Amino acid sequence: MIYFDNSATTKIDPSVLATYDQVAQTIWGNPSSLHKLGDRAFQLLESSRKQIANLLGTQADEIFFTSGGTESNNWAIKGTAFQKRKFGKHLITSSVEHASVTNAFNTLEYLGFNVTRLPVDKEGRVNVNDLRNAIDSDTTLVSIMGVNNEIGTIQPIEEISDLLSNYPNIMFHVDNVQALGKNIWSRVFTPRVDFSSLSAHKFHGPRGTGVFYKKEGKMIAPLHDGGGQEKSLRSGTENLPAIAAMAKAMRLILADEAEKAAREEAIKAKIVNYLQDKPGITIFSPVSTGFAPHVLCFSLEGIRGETLVHTLEDHDIYTSTTSACASTKVDEASTLIAMNVDDKIATSAIRMSFDETNTLDEADEFIKVFDQIYRHFAQINHLGE
Amino acid sequence: MEYTEIMIRYGELSTKGKNRKDFIGRLAGNVTKVLRDFPQVEIHPKHDRMHIVLNGAPFKQVDQHLKKVFGIQTYSPTIKTEKTLKDIEETALALMKETYHEGMTFKVNTKRSDHHFTYDTNELNLMVGDYLFDHMSNLKVEMKHPDIVLRIEVRQDAVYISDELLHGAGGMPVGTGGRAVMMLSGGIDSPVASYLALKRGVDIEMVHFYSPPYTTEKALNKAKELTGILANYAGRINFIAVPFAEIQETIKEKIPEGYLMTVQRRFMLRLADLIREKRKDLAIFNGESVGQVASQTLESMAAINDVTTTPVLRPVATMDKTEIISLAEKIGTFDLSIQPFEDCCTIFAPPRPKTKPKMDKAREYEARLDVDGLIERALDGIEVTPIYPDEKFLANKAEEDTALL
């Protein structure tokens, strides 16, 4: 099996699962309980928080635990909109965000907020000048992802940070679900970032747990009211086994980060090298510093992405159409559409996403398999004629 | 550069005339205790200084312990070299390269106890100074107040070179001031008072009152762990836990609310004094600070102190809370002190304690109680635990956490 769909989810690391198991079975007290079972759980919760803070270069009290990327994104966006509604109702995002961001803004729009969705260029990147022009005195939030989940574009978070340093009252959220462990952290998590989202299952951790980063002193309305956990900002009994497992997974993914990212990019480069200049193939994720090392999106003209995914699956190679979250729906690729890619080409796109467990041999195997598929479809569709 | 020995200069004790020998002996003993994890280290106490030969023990780790030993004024890590000019010059250069930063001033200061050495002090000062000038750029000499004094000591066996003067903890060697009991609650003030008592050379034993089930095991362990931090300055501290719940319940039942606190404190002081007597200690220390709370007004102190004529010493009596806190932070007890576990001072605290209790009233109310019986039963229940530096008592699962995470 060749698993090239790591942006959809990653396989849980066995040692991470062992931590999950051990915590679930032996440290099962409620961290809020007064007795020593609760105490022990609380201590581990805080140790996990501290470790994650150290790994991300933040303070421990800036780390909040959520159920994952979708919740963190919803919280950053709706929580800020609610918190700041007296100061303004204008929110800015991009047109290439993950559905958990896009749809959160759709909901807020329905509730009466004004939303500006910045356009992107042909690489899927927002332009800082567009952002500058969009900001007005009513703007309270800018939410731009760090790494695009469909084609891997790295957004200009550093430039946006420079711009927003002139607007200290505007909250800046960066969805970094795709960005951790890819050796680009300092480019997408600048000191100007107020809120950021992470999801454990994208780095060999368990599902259903994630991180919400909230810069010290920044105010946000809670979406989960209840028993007052997480400083009363995110109530609900803490999912300790998953949180501890996530802390471990994060430590593991960040060890030798540069070397792992380089290996992923080598796989990508090898496949790109094979694909480029082939008639009918369009590559959306070039090997460049403007793109994440682990995502490769391309289309094969005339074949629906879905068909290509299943054809590869028949050879035990796992990929996805451009966003696994939406790929069960018959839906066009939102990022590619926002890039003004022709509908026909956009619907032919597939996404491959690598991680440190993939090898160059797997790239060779993929090329071998794909070459047969390509020749077959090229003939049918008269590509290059 | 690896340091080979440490030269220690004594503090105040050098002025103490005929007691000097005792003091030096005690200091050497205390240094031995804190360095017991480094068996290779040799300690040579002399009448004017102490030399510690490291024999390969890492200076940085030894230093962590040494800077908490009272009675040391200053000390210098030094390097032993052969008695040749070349060795002296090269060692001096290597040391300077580590310590010297752009813009600093320095001078060379040579001493000779071997007067047969080829060069005299002036010659050595000049030659080593010249050598450094030739091999480092932008050096600046300053005779009066240099940032770095490069000390070269020519002794019979070898030459010793150092260029750092580190400040020790000062004070007097623990034990030279006798032994006393310390009333340790677990708050911010009493650990600071303990530190100050130790600093004046007084060896202390902790007396801690606990009242299960009103106070938790955690509160007791917190006090023990605080003692572990303070044991860094003493080598070892006995922790005496005194059960206090029966006395508190009885007082609550029989004494008017305004005097609950005063009478409780009188019992505590009585117990501390009896323990002191039994253990042949000389005085009682506590962490009271004038006017800080109802029990610490002069009126309260008088009404409470009424139960004994033993000296009750209050090292933080005249310090502001902020001063106490900054000292607590410096000695590393603050973060633990503010852990919010209820201790026996906060339970049964009346909502409106008398800030100006009257001594005769306190005596009169107390007469309603079986004082001797209560005291005797409390004393029967005491437990003495010797506590060593940095010993942990609060369930600290940091290691398990590290393994899991």
Interval B248-300: pLDDT, tens: 999 999 999 889 999 999 999 999 999 999 999 999 999 999 988 888 999 99
- pLDDT confidence bin for A342, thresholds 50/70/90: confident
pLDDT surpasses 90 at B342: no
Residue after which a domain boundary falls, among B110, B136, B165: B165
Question: In Å, how far are A8, A380, B225, B316, B370 from A313, measured between CA atoms?
Answer: 15, 20, 60, 76, 87
CB-CB under 8 Å, B395 with A44: no
Question: Do the domain assignments include residue B367?
Answer: yes
Q: Which pLDDT tens digit goes with each residue over A243-274?
A: 999 999 999 999 999 999 999 999 999 999 99
Please check whether residue B72 is in contact with residue B168, taking contact to mean a CB–CB distance below 8 angstroms.
yes
**pLDDT for the residue B340:** 79
Least Cα separation, residue B336 to chain A (angstroms): 15
CATH number for the domain that contains residue B59: 3.30.2130.30
Question: Do the domain assignments include residue B80?
Answer: yes
The rounded percent of chain B whose pLDDT value lies above 90 is 65
pLDDT surpasses 50 at A324: no
Question: Do the domain assignments include residue B114?
Answer: yes
Give the chain B residue whose CA is nearest to the CA of A37. B395
B218 lies in the same domain as B248: yes
B322 lies in the same domain as B359: yes
CB-CB under 8 Å, B405 with A40: no
Residue after which a domain boundary falls, among B141, B165, B189: B165
**pLDDT for the residue A48:** 97
B134 lies in the same domain as B36: yes
Least Cα separation, residue A12 to chain B (angstroms): 15
B182 lies in the same domain as B266: yes
Residue after which a domain boundary falls, among B138, B165, B192: B165
The C-alpha atoms of residue A242 and residue B288 are separated, in whole angstroms, by 47
Domain region containing B384 = 177-401
Interface-testing mutation among A47, A52, A253, with chain B (most B C-beta atoms within 10 A): A47
**pLDDT for the residue B141:** 86
Least Cα separation, residue A366 to chain B (angstroms): 36
Q: A343: Cβ–Cβ under 8 A, 6 or more apart, which residues? A: A332, A337
- pLDDT confidence bin for A354, thresholds 50/70/90: very high
State how beta strands A90-94 and A114-118 pair: parallel
CB-CB under 8 Å, A244 with B405: yes
Among A19, A22, A43, beta carbon nearest to B397: A43
Q: What is the mean pLDDT of residues A65-69?
A: 97
Give the chain B residue whose CA is nearest to the CA of A20. B404
**Interface contact A253, partner B, CB < 8 A:** no
**Interface contact A15, partner B, CB < 8 A:** no
Mean pLDDT of chain A: 94
- pLDDT confidence bin for B113, thresholds 50/70/90: confident
Q: Is B104 helix (H, G, I), strand (E, B) or coil?
A: coil
B154 lies in the same domain as B187: no
B217 lies in the same domain as B280: yes
B152 lies in the same domain as B296: no
Angle between helices B189-199 and B321-331 (to 10 degrees): 70
Among A36, A44, A251, beta carbon nearest to B401: A44
**pLDDT for the residue B228:** 95
Known binding residue B393? Answer is no
**pLDDT for the residue B103:** 83
In chain B the first and final C-alpha atoms are separated, in Å, by: 37
Give the chain A residue whose CA is nearest to the CA of B405. A248
**pLDDT for the residue A198:** 98
Q: What is the mean pLDDT of residues B98-111?
A: 88
Residues of A within 8 A of B402 (CB-CB) are 47
Question: Do the domain assignments include residue B298?
Answer: yes
Q: Which pLDDT tens digit goes with each residue over B48-89?
A: 789 999 999 999 999 999 999 999 999 999 999 999 999 999
Question: Do the domain assignments include residue B171?
Answer: no
Residues of A within 8 A of B393 (CB-CB) are none
Structure tokens that stand for A163 in this block: 């711009």
CB-CB under 8 Å, B404 with A43: no
The C-alpha atoms of residue A331 and residue B49 are separated, in whole angstroms, by 84
CB-CB under 8 Å, A22 with B405: no
CATH number for the domain that contains residue B293: 3.40.50.620
CB-CB under 8 Å, B405 with A43: no
**pLDDT for the residue B350:** 78
Question: Do the domain assignments include residue B263?
Answer: yes
**pLDDT for the residue A131:** 97
CB-CB under 8 Å, A36 with B404: no
B363 lies in the same domain as B338: yes
* Residue predicted with more confidence, B22 or A202: A202
**pLDDT for the residue A124:** 96
**pLDDT for the residue B164:** 87
B183 lies in the same domain as B315: yes
pLDDT surpasses 70 at A323: no
pLDDT surpasses 50 at A327: no
- pLDDT confidence bin for B15, thresholds 50/70/90: low
| Structural domain total, chain B | 2
B209 lies in the same domain as B156: no
B189 lies in the same domain as B151: no
B9 lies in the same domain as B105: yes
Three-state SS across A134-181? Answer: HCCCCEEEEECCCECCCCCEECCHHHHHHHHCCCCCCEEEEECCCCCC
pLDDT surpasses 50 at A240: yes
Q: Which residues of A are catalytic?
A: 325
